[in-house]
């Protein structure tokens, strides 16, 4: 019988400021609890049943006396609070040095080299919200054909372009060129293509976003693949790991599509890992300071969680977690340095196990390695023996 681990990352669903949040100016951030307060309470009965309300105080999501699964939270050990760092650590790769960030924009000589590579000038080179910068510079982009370059508090080099001005293939080529330039001291975590459509006053970003990540060192994904088992990425997982260690990938256009892809994959018979990222929480609501949209997305996921749980085999374990925070109720629109939730469910999982506060996201990787019988010598401590029924 197949044995699988399913890891679903609810992108940015943090559960409170970490002990070192002061170094990131994120004091007071609590994506899940603050979102609940902002909307007058959340209705998440299925995650509540597993033990979500036992992790922290969430309006509308009470602690239950007998959780159906194991529950806890995790602190990120690597420096940073970005997507790449969080996902890499979940798979056993802890960073000792944060990816570079550019609060004043990229160095002029770096931009000049990029412009020489692509054969045209660029616009922007500032820290900005993606939706705001295309609103501001989109009209000039239409007139000149110059791509818009911008960054954020994360380690990203983002290139925005109208799909009718710079075709997708050309935009992706520009991103490859930027990726080749950004190494050593400028080795950013991700180069991101940000295509959009529409007219001034009504620009809309499309689902054709593509991430070009720095390639990681060895992770659990490599070890699972080398063991002959499957590693199925759903959403932007393949991008985050630069394709390394992924045996099958399914892109998604939104959370609902991501859930549909998870369900489709779980109907197959295989042994290995399903690793999914549901990005709407972060991309559509956290970065746009929209707690009502965030709450709606959480409740929509919870409504469909039973569909996923019904497809679990007797030897499967489901892990629901996050990669960082992005509190939609704070002034900032950036990611926040927060603990992330840890919910584990499956027939093998002893119900009601309190996993406490894990010192690193990499404990997930160590646990999955034990579950799948994979040799593991990366970061993290397994909590597998705490999970399995005695």
Taking every pair of Cα atoms in the chain, the longest distance, rounded to a whole number of angstroms, is 68
Is pLDDT of 281 > 90?
yes
Domain 4-95+217-387, CATH class in plain words: alpha beta
Q: What's the distance, CA 342 to chain centroid?
A: 14
Nearest residue to 344 (alpha-carbon basis) of 14, 52, 24, 37: 52
Mode of pairing for the β-strands spanning 230-234 and 148-151? unpaired
**What is the rounded average pLDDT of the residues 361-379?**
98
**pLDDT tens-digit readout, 291-308:** 999 999 999 999 999 999
Asked whether 223 and 244 are in contact (CB, 8 A), the reply is: no
Token couple for 308: 């996923």
Is pLDDT of 2 > 90?
no
Domain ranges of the chain: 4-95+217-387, 108-212
* DSSP SS3 for 65: coil
Q: What percent of the chain has pLDDT over 90?
A: 97
**pLDDT tens-digit readout, 305-348:** 999 999 999 999 999 999 999 999 999 999 999 999 999 999 99
Instruction: Give me the pLDDT at residue 1, please.
Output: 66
Q: What's the distance, CA 345 to chain centroid?
A: 20
pTM: 0.92
* DSSP SS3 for 307: helix
Q: Do domains 4-95+217-387 and 108-212 have the same CATH topology?
A: no
**Residues whose CB is less than 8 angstroms from the CB of residue 180 and which lie 6 or more positions away in sequence, other chains included:** none
Domain spanning 108-212, CATH architecture: 2-Layer Sandwich (3.30)
Average of per-residue pLDDT values in the chain:
96
pLDDT band at 153 (very low <50, low <70, confident <90, very high): confident
Asked whether 144 and 123 are in contact (CB, 8 A), the reply is: yes
**pLDDT tens-digit readout, 111-127:** 999 999 999 999 999 99
Residue 272, beta-bridge partner list: 4, 230
Q: What percent of the chain has pLDDT over 70?
A: 99
Is pLDDT of 140 > 70?
yes
Give dist(CA 114, CA 92) in Å, integer: 33
Is pLDDT of 390 > 80?
no
Sign of CA dihedral 32, 33, 37, 41: positive
Give dist(CA 10, CA 320) in Å, integer: 7
Is pLDDT of 202 > 80?
yes
**What is the rounded average pLDDT of the residues 228-240?**
97
Nearest residue to 363 (alpha-carbon basis) of 91, 8, 97: 91
**pLDDT tens-digit readout, 210-227:** 999 999 999 999 999 999
DSSP secondary structure letters along 219-257: -HHHHHHHTT-EEEEESSHHHHTTTTT-SEEE--SSHHH
Residue 11 DSSP one-character state: T
Instruction: Give me the pLDDT at residue 388, please.
Output: 87
**Residues whose CB is less than 8 angstroms from the CB of residue 46 and which lie 6 or more positions away in sequence, other chains included:** 302, 303, 305, 306, 309
Instruction: Give me the pLDDT at residue 372, please.
Output: 98
Mode of pairing for the β-strands spanning 210-213 and 230-234? unpaired
Token couple for 199: 């007219």
Asked whether 155 and 84 are in contact (CB, 8 A), the reply is: yes
């Amino acid at each position: 019988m197949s044995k699988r681990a399913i890891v679903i990352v609810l992108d940015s669903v943090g559960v409170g400021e970490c002990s070192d949040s002061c170094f990131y100016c994120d004091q007071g951030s609590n994506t899940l609890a603050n979102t609940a307060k902002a909307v007058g309470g959340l209705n998440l009965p299925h995650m509540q049943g597993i033990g979500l309300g036992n992790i922290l105080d969430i309006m509308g999501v009470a602690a239950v006396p007998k959780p159906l699964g194991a529950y806890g939270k995790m602190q990120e050990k690597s420096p940073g609070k970005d997507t790449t760092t969080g996902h890499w650590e979940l798979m056993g790769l802890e960073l000792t040095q944060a990816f570079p960030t550019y609060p004043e924009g990229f160095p002029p000589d770096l931009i000049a080299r990029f412009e020489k590579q692509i054969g045209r000038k660029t616009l922007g080179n500032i820290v900005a919200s993606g939706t705001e910068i295309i609103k501001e510079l989109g009209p000039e982009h239409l007139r000149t054909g110059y791509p818009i370059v911008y960054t954020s508090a994360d380690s990203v080099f983002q290139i925005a372009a109208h799909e009718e001005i710079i075709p997708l293939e050309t935009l992706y080529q520009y991103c490859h060129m930027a990726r080749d330039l950004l190494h050593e001291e400028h080795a950013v975590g991700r180069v991101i293509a940000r295509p959009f459509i529409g007219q001034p006053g009504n620009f809309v970003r499309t689902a054709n976003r593509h991430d070009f990540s720095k390639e990681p060192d060895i992770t659990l994904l490599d070890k699972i693949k080398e063991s002959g088992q499957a590693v199925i990425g759903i959403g932007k997982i393949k991008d985050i790991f630069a394709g390394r260690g992924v045996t099958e990938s399914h892109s998604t256009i939104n959370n609902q599509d991501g859930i549909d892809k998870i369900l489709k994959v779980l109907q197959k018979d295989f042994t290995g890992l399903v690793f999914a990222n549901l990005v709407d929480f972060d991309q559509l609501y956290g970065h746009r300071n929209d707690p009502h949209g965030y709450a709606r997305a959480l409740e929509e996921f919870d409504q469909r969680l039973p569909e996923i749980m019904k497809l679990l085999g007797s030897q499967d374990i489901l892990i629901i977690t996050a990669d960082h925070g992005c509190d939609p109720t704070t002034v900032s629109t950036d990611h926040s340095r927060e603990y992330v939730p840890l919910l584990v469910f499956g027939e093998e999982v002893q119900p009601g196990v309190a996993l406490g506060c894990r010192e690193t996201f990499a404990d997930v990787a160590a646990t999955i390695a034990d579950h799948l019988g994979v040799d593991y010598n990366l970061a993290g401590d397994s909590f597998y023996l705490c999970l399995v029924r005695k």
